[in-house]
Copies of this chain bind each other. A is one copy, B any other.
Amino acid sequence: MVGFLLDCRQSGSSLNDSHVKAAPSEAPRTLADRLFETLRAEIVEGRIAAGSKISEPELARRFEASRGSLREALMRLEALGLLERRINVGARVVELTERGLLELYDVREALEGMACRLAAGARTAEDLAELRRMLEHHEQQEELRAGRAYFQPEGDFDFHFRIVQASGNDLLIDTLCNRLYYRVRMYRYQLGMASPRAQRAFREHSHIIEAIEAGDGDLAELLMRRHIRASRQNIENKLR
């Protein structure tokens, strides 16, 4: 447990190192930053249980940090929506509820639909090449796993992540990639939603990228919204 800080080498604000083109200069990071990222991962992956209470003195001892630095990390987790703090009472990890999950889908439908529309309007050669390469990569993985009943969640995540990046709208990118997607991953990890929509999802991804390539914003948005709504419907059925 001691020396855990040396292991935290994720890039600051991006969701997944595999998405970063290249790390040119290791940006200096603060202790509160590392605490934040470590705790974020533990909450997302369920090592710190949803709904559990956070004890500042306990965590400070565990990480051998002062309470001040830890509090900064907690406040940033609150801003992410992973913690809820009440004055003079303390912080709790958010609960995972069916309602919360469905709310997340509705917000994603709206925002990622818009991201598709914008990506279709502002697409660059690099973005398109990147999307194509990613899709082929997923197709290969898909063939390898043909017949299996689950769909690699990371592939789906890559797809949505890249589309949003291609929108070119920094506010939209920040809202989705630095805020909502951590909650999405938290639900995926802990409710373990392996989607049996593998081939279908892949075809949908493919059609969305085609619409973006064609510069058809209306169609791109429509297809993405249907894609997300189908996912939501799938989950909704499973929960009943």
Contact = CB atoms under 8 A, between A and B. Distances in A.
Contacts of A175: 107, 175
A64 interface: no
A106 B72 contact: no
A107 B174 CA distance: 11
Interface string A22-50: 00000111100100000000000000000
Provide the main secondary structure of the chain A interface. Answer: helix
Interface in A144-175: 169-172, 174-175
Interface in A168-192: 169-172, 174-175, 180
Band of interface residues on A = 20 to 34
Contacts of A76: 75, 79
A129 to B, nearest CB: 25
Contacts of A57: none
